[in-house]
Structure formats: structure tokens, C-alpha cells
A and B are shown apart, each in its own frame.
Chain A
Amino acid sequence: GAGVSQTPSNKVTEKGKYVELRCDPISGHTALYWYRQSLGQGPEFLIYFQGTGAADDSGLPNDRFFAVRPEGSVSTLKIQRTERGDSAVYLCASRDAGSDTQYFGPGTRLTVL
């Protein structure tokens, strides 16, 4: 079956611009996670959705970052006033209820010039 998909695969933007990153989880997965991976590091947690609601947003670095999942499926990570330090690979993962495993998408590589 189809895995987690993310679009775009690459995004280049200028400092100060607004970007949206999209995640399509595996169909039926109720839990959705966003992580950020900087070069040479492990992924770092950003936000977790259970259904439509953000159950834990403790990893969002500041109020420029926001994420939604209005219908409990697709999620969008939104970054305002991008900074060069936001450059990273943004990973999305989904998990089925009752399962232990988070399945990761291919990621969006964000470059802020």
C-alpha cells in the first residue's frame, strides 16, 4: 500500500518568506508526527496530532511554526518569516492506533537563503 507522502520534496525560499509543507499519512492512521532533521543529527520532534487535534506541540521552536490537520488526515506545517536556521529536512510520520511503529515519509528539504 501507499506509504507516507510529503510535498514538495524540495523547497527553496528566501529569508522572511512564508512556506507550507504538506504531509499525507498512510490511510487510516490516526496519529501524525512532524520532526525536523538537521544535517548530521537525528530527527527532533516538533508536533503530534491525534485525529484533528494537536495533542503535543511542545517541540515547535517558536510561534513562527504552526501545523494543522483539519480533517484528521492530511497535515500542513506552516512556517512564517523563515530564517536561515530553519533550513533542514522536515519529516512526517504516521502511526496506526494500536501499533508501535511510526512510518516516516521521504521528507521535505527546506533551504532558506
Chain B
Amino acid sequence: ELKVEQNPLFLSMQEGKNYTIYCNYSTTSDRLYWYRQDPGKSLESLFVLLSNGAVKQEGRLMASLDTKARLSTLHITAAVHDLSATYFCAVGGYTGANSKLTFGKGITLSVRP
């Protein structure tokens, strides 16, 4: 059974500092996804990582993938309040039944002044 684990589950961040959060998964998957969810809202796609060593950056967020370690990291540079949200990672394949996503429990980030 495919399992996706995220840690920590909650992270209080200080504005301006850097942080890294982690996503581990139990079996080989084609793709690793990061989504953001604001309270009471739906999921917003952030990144899709396709291959070992893939790195993608958008603003203060940078995601990377190590398929051998089955690990993805999301690095936050100089945290700002707007980044406060819950971040989910998910794994899935590309086509057919494999394309369903298996999500972790999410990491709630809170940025304090």
C-alpha cells in the first residue's frame, strides 16, 4: 500500500527565516506533487516533479525530488505571512488508474512576525 508521510505536521515560522519541510513516500511513483490549501479553500497546484533530481522554484518556494530516497523537500526562503497555509504533497502516476493521487496529511505552516 502506498503511503505518503509529511513532517513536521505543524511548523511555526518566523518571518524572514528559511525552513525546509519533507515528504516521504513508500513506493516508486511517476510524479510528486505539491499543493497549497488555505483554510476553507480548495487545493492550489504548486509544483509537479517528474524525475530524480528535479528542482522547481516559484517565488520563495523551491521543491526538489530524490526518487532513490523517495523524498521530496520544500524549501522556504525568507518566510512571509502570505505563505501561511497547509501544504500537501501527493504522489501519482501519469495515466490511467495510476493517475489517482495519494496525499500526505499535510503540513500547516504559520508565519509569525
A and B found bound together:
yes
Binding site for B on A (CB under 8 A): 31, 33, 35, 40-45, 48, 50, 55-56, 58-59, 91, 95, 100-107
Partner of A50, one of B33, B96, B103: B96
Chain B residues lying within 8 Å of A50, measured Cβ to Cβ, are 96
Number of interface residues of B (CB under 8 A): 24
Q: Is the CB of B99 within 8 A of A31?
A: yes
Complex Cα gap A103–B43 (Å): 8
Total A-B Cβ pairs within 8 A: 57
Complex Cα gap A59–B96 (Å): 14
Q: How far is the CB of B106 from chain A (nearest CB, A)?
A: 5
Q: Is the CB of A103 within 8 A of B45?
A: yes
Complex Cα gap A35–B101 (Å): 9
Binding site for A on B (CB under 8 A): 4, 31, 33, 35, 41-45, 48, 50, 88, 90, 94, 96-97, 99-106
Partner of A42, one of B31, B41, B88: B88
Q: How far is the CB of B92 from chain A (nearest CB, A)?
A: 8
Complex Cα gap A45–B91 (Å): 12
Complex Cα gap A31–B88 (Å): 21
Complex Cα gap A41–B105 (Å): 5
Chain A residues lying within 8 Å of B43, measured Cβ to Cβ, are 43, 91, 104
Q: Is the CB of A105 within 8 A of B42?
A: yes
Q: Is the CB of B45 within 8 A of A101?
A: yes
Q: Is the CB of A48 within 8 A of B100?
A: yes
Q: How far is the CB of B74 from chain A (nearest CB, A)?
A: 15
Q: How far is the CB of A87 from chain B (nearest CB, A)?
A: 16
B43, closest chain A residue (CB)? A104
Chain B residues lying within 8 Å of A48, measured Cβ to Cβ, are 97, 99-100
Q: Is the CB of B101 within 8 A of A43?
A: yes
Q: Is the CB of A106 within 8 A of B105?
A: no
Q: How far is the CB of B104 from chain A (nearest CB, A)?
A: 5
Chain B residues lying within 8 Å of A103, measured Cβ to Cβ, are 45
Starting from the known contacts A58-B97, A100-B50, 11 additional A-B residue pairs (CB-CB under 8 Å) come to: A33-B99, A33-B101, A35-B101, A41-B106, A43-B43, A44-B103, A56-B97, A91-B43, A95-B99, A100-B48, A107-B42
